[in-house]
Structure formats: C-alpha cells, structure tokens
Amino acid sequence: MTTQNYAKGLEGVIAAETKLSYIDGEKGILEYIGIPIGELAEKSTFEETVYFLWNGRLPTKPELDGFTGAIRSRYDIPAGVEALLNTIPKTAEPMHAIRTLVSALGLHDPKPNSIDLPTIRDKALSILAQTPTLLAYFHQHRQGKPFTRPDKSLGLSENFLYMLNGKRPTPAMTKALDVCMILHTDHGLNNSTFTTRVIISTESDIYSAITGAIGSLRGPLHGGANEGVMRMLNAIPSVAASEAFIQEKLAKKDKIPGFGHRVYKAYDPRATHLKVLAKQLAHDTGHTDLYEKSTAIEAVMNREKAAKGIYPNVDFYSATTYYCIGLPLDLFTPMFVIGRVGGWSAHALEQLAHNRLYRPDVDYTGPHGVAYTPIEKR
C-alpha cells in the first residue's frame, strides 16, 4: 500500500497544463483561450475556432482565408482509403467505421511517424478536412448510394451536410452544425483529450493519437449520451406524457440521458446555445414536439434535481439539433468526432511543445511472497 493519495478516475488530479480551454463547473463557464464560448458560438466559425486553438490567437482575414482554403483543398481522401471504405460491412457501426478509416489515413502517408510540430500540424489539417468526407462516404456506402464528392467552394460544415444528403443544406442548418462543431471542439482534459495526450506523449504518430481518442469517445459514458436523449424523446408519445415518463424514470432511480456532468454543477454553457438552436430548427423543420418535450423534461428535472447540481448538458439539446438537420441517430456521436478533431490536435501540439511521457504510479493491492505451485499439484 503506497502513502500517495489515490483518486479513483483521477478526479481532482491535475495531469497537464493547458492554455486551450478553461472550465468553471460551479459557475457554468467555458472559455477557449479566454474567450467565452458564447462569443465564439455567436460570432466565429468552426474553421476560425480551430485556427484560434492551434495558434493561440485569432487570425487576420488573409490568415483565415488561407487556413480555410487549405482545409477545402484537402477534402478528398486517398484512393486506397476509399477502396477500403467500400469493403466495410454496411451493417458496421459508424464509430467503428470512422475509427478504422481515420487510422487507415496513416497507411497512405509516406512519413506517418514524423512528429515535429509543423509536420504534425500539416497532418492534423488533413485529418480535420478528411474526417467529414470519411463519415459522409460511409453513410452513402451503407445505403448503397454513389458518393457525393466534396464541393471545395463550401465550408466544412456546409460541405459535410451536402455530401451526406446530396443536396445543399439551408443556411440555418449550416449555421446550426457550425455552432455545434464550435461547442464540441474542446473541453478541458476530458477522457478522449487525455487519451490523445497520453498517446502523443510517447512520441507516437498523430493518426494513433486521434484513433485512440475516437475509441475513447465511442464509450457511452463519454460521447454517446446524445443518442440516448433522442431515443428517450422518441419513446415519449406526446408532450403531455413527458412529465409522467420522467417521474417514472426517477422513481426507478434511472439516469436521465442528457442531464448531469462530471464537471458542471451549474447549467452547461454549451447547452444554453444549443437550446436556442434547437428551438429555431424544430420550428423550421416541423419538429416542435421534440423541442417541447425537451423543455417539459427540463422543467421536471429542474424541480427534482437542480438543487443537486444536475442540469442539461451539451448532449441534451444537441440531440434535437442534429435530428432537425437530418442526421441519422447513429451519426450523432461521429459528429462529435468531426468537431473534436480540432481540439484533440490542438492538445497534441501543446503536449509535444513541452512533452513529458505520461507514466503515473499505481497502488498495488495484491498479495506478496506467494509460492509458485507446480502444475501437477494444482
């Protein structure tokens, strides 16, 4: 037994220094390099937010134009990865598919293991640009449809929706997805971001780091809650039935998807902006019942659980937002991947700039001095 402090799940343990995002869970504050998340959601774009995180400052117009142009020029995926994509079973889960395909990008990089910062940044730019293409192609592949090729005149969010559905999205849908991407880009040392930093700290490659992060995000305790929210909304027959449904769940001590957060003990600031988006999109697309069910659920939870610091998190209203812009349920978590690639890459760059290999201690609780028993005596 060691004399060191042990924190199950590493709660309260500071494992890294970062300038990328700041969270005050008690006050419901999230900032990217000092700028409140609401400012970025209202005024920025996903591409500008990624530039901001990668460079530590907002770009000038020429810099942003160059950055967005570089992303658009890399939308196309390698032919070998496209060939691999066509062999994936159409019944495969999208998170397994996107994890495999991102990893496969490294097979077509002539120097996948280079880890100097300019090279890592260049590779991360390609992964950022190509991940939406991989996901859109996989979705069309499993439907037996021909691929809708990227339109390099479009920004990342608009181009993704265009490739996914084969038609141009409305400006409201494009803006909604772009805001979702901004809100999902970074969030402190969450599990998948920690995974990124752990892997890159070994001086492994960026493909391995991002692939590992996707594997982490796939877990329902991290990135899959918005799917649970949508299933819950679909299971409630009407707005009027919402309260009874939730009260029954609470009586059984069931968890309510989309409520509570490991960090926030106040209203998740990301949920604030997604609530506004969800309301507008639900109205625009004829799904006001989903929004009204959501607000009815929130009202019940506020009465029953707000005193305990349990409020809607980012997943609660993102479910309605994603549904209204036409995303299938099982693409909700992969959308998280597209947004988070920018943040994961920023953390990889930050880690490598002042790297030290992660190697925590462990508290051994097993026996000592045990004699080996020969197999004939067991």
By annotation, the residues acting in catalysis are 222, 261, 315
What are the helix (H) ranges across 143-268?
A: 156-165, 171-184, 191-200, 206-218, 225-235, 242-251
Maximal C-alpha separation, the chain:
77
Number of C-alpha atoms within 13 angstroms, CB side, residue 70?
Answer: 18
Task: State the Cα–Cα distance between residues 352 and 135, nearest whole angstrom.
Answer: 28
Looking up tokens 């994603």 gives 322
Contact 206, 214 (CB under 8 A): no
Both tokens of 119, joined, read 């090279």
Task: State the Cα–Cα distance between residues 97 and 226, nearest whole angstrom.
Answer: 19
Amino acid at 19: K
Produce one character per residue of 347-377: b if its CB has 16 or more CB atoms within 10 Å, e if not: bbbbbbeeeeeeeeeeeeeeeeeeeeeeeee
What does DSSP assign to residue 166? Answer: S
Looking up tokens 């299933």 gives 231
Amino acid at 235: A
Task: State the Cα–Cα distance between residues 323 and 328, nearest whole angstrom.
Answer: 7
Could you give the C-alpha distances from 313 to 142, 185, 209, 225, 267, in angstroms and in order?
31, 15, 26, 10, 7
Smallest Cα–Cα separation from 334: which of 95, 48, 83, 64? 95
